[in-house]
Structure 1
Amino acid sequence: MMSDKRKFIAAVADIIRMPQVRRLRKTIHHHRFNRYYHVMHVAYMVFMLCRYLKYDWRNAARAALLHDLFYFDWRNSRLKGYPWMHPVIALKRARRHFTLSAMQMEMIELHMWPIHADPVRMPRYAETWVLIVCDKIQTFCEYIDIPVRFIRRLTGGLFH
């Protein structure tokens, strides 16, 4: 029987190997954490929660890994409206490299809900709600600077 970590890696291996995704390691995302670290942890949380809830865990984890596929440092950017713009940029980049389902596109585009370009538009897929929650939890952990060793223990050192 395959372990959770191996199932996760098998589901997202092609994405992890992409230079466009590996490049996320060079961009600070929240506080002192790079964007690769952020998306990997969010994707693993989405994977685990979707498996538990019997949702489409494979495609949800793949979309979660692509939800912040952009390279600028939003704190130093002249781009106004970062919360509204970066999901659109991430979706455009993800579509350039992958064929995405309607669910995956919604997950990437609405992961900042309700702070996005169209706040009236509600997520339709349960997996989108899972990503929204997991992204907020991970961001909170990064901002309050939960010790890296604790996060490593939670994920079994999977990403370090």
Structure 2
Amino acid sequence: MDRGEPAILVVMGVSGAGKTTVGGALARALGWRFLDGDALHSPASIDKMRRGIPLTEADRDPWLERLRQATASYLAAGERAVIACSALKRTHRSRLRVGPGVRFVYLKGGPPLLRERLRHRRGHYMKAPLLESQLATLEEPRDALTLDADLPVDVLVRRVIRAYGLKGKRTEAGD
């Protein structure tokens, strides 16, 4: 694969931005692997978030290390993957940037949209009260493809594919 072409796309943003939904749809459209970073949180961290307690950097550190290892493994195996994770801080993104093929897609949403989505979320430990903590922690990336989280999923997927010059499993019409 061309060294300039992405091999790993990290779909990032705060809770409610649509990382898992967009990341999964993007992976399916590209025929790439998909990893939801939430699956790599420790049971203790999930319990904290379920109880409405924001994670500390000490809580995030082992999770980020597991994400870094997964990213490095995909690259070493020559696999392409989409990873959904918050990657809130510049240092978090630096840890995940383990090779030249890692690119970031930032789903940016305004607090009213994010709060509304989280209010209606079912079956997930991350609820609306933790959003303020994530927004306070967020360091918006300057080196990511930034997209409006309020756009329809299919439009977001097409925009990522177009922006990075990727080829999907099927030809996508324009938006």
TM-score normalised by the chain length of structure 1: 0.33
Higher relative contact order structure (alpha carbons within 8 Å, sequence separation ≥ 6): 2
| Structure with higher strand content | 2
- Pick the structure with greater CA Rg: 2
Higher helix share: 1
TM-score w.r.t. the length of structure 2 is: 0.31
